Amino acid sequence: MAKSDSIKHAEIMLKQLEEMKTLPSVAARLTRMLSDESSSVKDFERVIKMDPTLVLRLLRLVNSPFYALRTRVSSVSEAVAFIGIDNLRNLIVVDALKNLFAVNSDGEKFSRKNLWMHCVAVAICSQMSIERIFGQKGEDAFLCGIVHDIGLIIADQVLPDEFMKVCVAWNTKDNRKIIRYEDDILHTDHTIVGYLLTRDWKLPVNVQNGVRQHHDNLSDIDPKSLPAIIQVADYMAARLNYTMLPHMKGDLSPSLMIHIRDNIKEYKALAEDLPEELAKAAEIYSLQ
């Protein structure tokens, strides 16, 4: 199918889900504030306090084993100052997505809860990879990981019968990627839908591109680019059975296979530490 037709079908799907195209009211205000350099910690505190659930999750995050603080943080202003603006942005997006994933949709083939845990695993692995292996800040990598499959939830929400046909049609014996099944049945795929949604939400351009390209078979890909980071994290998460569908494997561009082979010690160490990091995150990112 022509790229323009795929985009058109993705846009139609998003129009059917108009109420989800923008973040909830408090999150929308915070998102605008994040791009305003004049916003102060007090400004953030005032808006965050309008959403008690967000306050709870913010304090839960900053006091979690992830940060291992010696003293407990009890105020919103302290929490915002400690985690920083990029982590606050990620928390806002995670908070907006949780309601979407929490809707009961657990079947034999597809489970939103399983997809959510896959996204969490990819997000954490992405952040670990870019920080440990490339020595770069990992907030954008985490954000890209947590939203990389958001298009699948949109499809399940808007076209549940057609989406279930995609899940049923996919099988481990076929080498075709899931997006090929989506293209056949939905006439678009989750990378395009996700890209358009992240663009609507005005997430960073590199995050938008990571979502758009995370299934692309790229012959010349920079290992530290977000599409590459997400591909590798997707592959590693699958090896720990954090997958969208049972027995699904991550896709790797050939150049990334070479990159992993050339840096196998670093990736082995990361793989060994990943289960512990996921265990730490289990309570924070629970859908309960």
pLDDT digits (tens, 9 = 90+) for 260-278: 999 999 999 999 999 998 8
Tokens of 208: 């938008």
pTM of this structure: 0.86
In this predicted structure, the answer to whether residue 99 has a pLDDT above a threshold of 80 is: no
Give the count of domains, the chain.
Answer: 1
In this predicted structure, the answer to whether residue 21 has a pLDDT above a threshold of 60 is: no
* Full residue range of the structural domain in which residue 243 is found: 3-284
- Interval 234-261: pLDDT, tens: 999 999 999 988 888 888 889 999 999 9
Residue type, 213: Q
The pLDDT, as a whole number, for residue 207 is 94
Residue 38's alpha-carbon distances to 34, 49, 80, 227, 239, in angstroms, are 9, 19, 15, 32, 44
- Interval 200-228: pLDDT, tens: 888 889 999 999 999 998 778 899 999 99
Domain of residue 170, CATH code: 1.10.3210.10
CB 216, CB 180: distance < 8 Å: no
The pLDDT, as a whole number, for residue 11 is 94
In this predicted structure, the answer to whether residue 31 has a pLDDT above a threshold of 60 is: yes
> Measured between alpha carbons, how far is 189 from 82 in angstroms, rounded to an integer?
38
**Mean per-residue pLDDT of the chain:** 87
pLDDT band at 23 (very low <50, low <70, confident <90, very high): low
Q: What do you get for the CA distance between the two ends of the chain, in Å?
A: 40
Residue in 110, 130, 122 with CA at minimum distance from that of residue 146? 122
